[in-house]
Amino acid sequence: MSENAGRQSLEIERKYEVAADLPLPPDSAFAEAGLTAASPITYELSAVYFDTSDADLARRGLALRVRHGGSDAGWHLKERGEAEVQELFWPLDDAMPDGVRAELRARIGGAADAVAPIAELSTERTVVVLADAAGAELVELADDRVEAFDRVTGVARAWREWEAELLPGAPRAALDLVEPVLRAAGAAPSLSAAKIARATGRLVDAARRAGADAGRIAALEALDASDRAAADAAAAEGTAESAAAERRTEGEAK
């Protein structure tokens, strides 16, 4: 492996839709499933995603991002399969690493030179690591509050989701232990497999290309409408808070 090659890893996870005010399950709920929950840790993450104007990466099941914050800050190239994601990782750098450019050329040829930012995501992530009775860490549960901006269309979206990701060396059955706890708390399996597809409103088109039935298409359309409405509500709340702060400042100055 060359010094420019990315570090490889395998990502196996399940995503869940949750209400904005839904609390994470208590430790006692995980204990009933034979799991111990570590103390939660919160990170502020920001990421920029890249593709070409013809979606050369997305059409091949690829996603490229650079992320700041958290335990895996850096450049990530993901390739989605049916049940798992292969990931290549390069350390954080302001400029796209040579290894990333070489990998893109190997995947999409000359179109690699047209790759540019297409979306920005800001995520407040609260992580809880779940271990078995022997202390072996099995699953990382992430509670994500996401704000996304599609640079191409100018559309903002916002949502909340839980991700249960299998930790290295853990058996896949560990996800089956976690899922009943999450669903009992009020979570539902997500219709979205990837944040970037959701952030750019591509879920519906992808489902149509895959031959999804009318019910799934309608559900995805409703999901996107909800994401847009949530972003509009957050923007309105932010505007109101800014106006209130300005009025307080003006009052203090008099």
Residue 1's pLDDT is 45
Q: Is the pLDDT of residue 237 over 80?
A: yes
Angstrom distance (rounded) from CA 148 to CA 43: 17
* Long-range contacts, 108-115 (Cβ 8 Å, 24+): 108/52, 108/56, 108/57, 108/60, 108/62, 111/52, 111/54, 111/56, 114/52, 114/53, 114/54, 114/56, 115/50, 115/51, 115/52, 115/56, 115/57, 115/64
- Stated pTM of the model: 0.90
> Over 70: is that where the pLDDT of 245 sits?
no
Q: Is the pLDDT of residue 27 over 50?
A: yes
Q: So what CATH class is 7-191?
A: mainly beta
Predicted local confidence at residue 238, as pLDDT: 81
Mean pLDDT of 135-154: 98
Residue range 52-105, pLDDT digits in tens: 999 999 999 999 999 999 989 999 999 988 778 999 999 999 999 999 999 999
118 close to 56: Cβ distance less than 8 angstroms: no
